């Protein structure tokens, strides 16, 4: 089955981004395909390159980067939402800016679309 995930919360705003990342790992482990992970609204903060959480906290952004690099996964950041929030550049490794049109393409190719966050 082919999935598209939409992440709408910042990495430390709620558990949504962390849960989405773990869900993506589980999908891949079970043999499913991820068409795309799309970061929208506050979710664009998952792509901030210079984020440094405390040492004893999880590093959600690094977890996304690792997932993308290990699985050649497409992590797409909404360019308009990023621009509005000052998150245009530099982006963390594995993330790239694109438009909502790219999300529409992924959704049209997917069997399931799951949204994480409010």
Active-site residue among 16, 73, 78, 103? Answer: 78
21 catalytically annotated: no
Number of neighbouring beta carbons within 10 Å of residue 85? 15
Say how far apart CA 8 and CA 72 lie, in whole Å.
22
Which residues are part of the catalytic machinery?
A: 78
């Amino acid at each position: 089955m082919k999935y598209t995930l939409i992440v709408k919360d910042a990495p430390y705003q709620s558990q949504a981004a962390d849960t989405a990342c773990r869900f993506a790992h589980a999908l891949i482990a079970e043999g499913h395909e991820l068409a795309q992970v799309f970061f929208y609204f506050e979710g664009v903060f998952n792509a901030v390159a210079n984020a440094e959480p405390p040492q004893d906290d999880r590093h959600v952004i690094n977890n996304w980067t690792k997932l993308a690099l290990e699985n050649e996964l497409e992590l797409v950041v909404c360019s308009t939402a990023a621009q509005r929030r000052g998150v245009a550049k530099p982006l963390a490794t594995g993330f790239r800016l694109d438009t909502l049109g790219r999300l529409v393409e992924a959704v049209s190719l997917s069997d399931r679309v799951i949204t994480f966050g409010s």
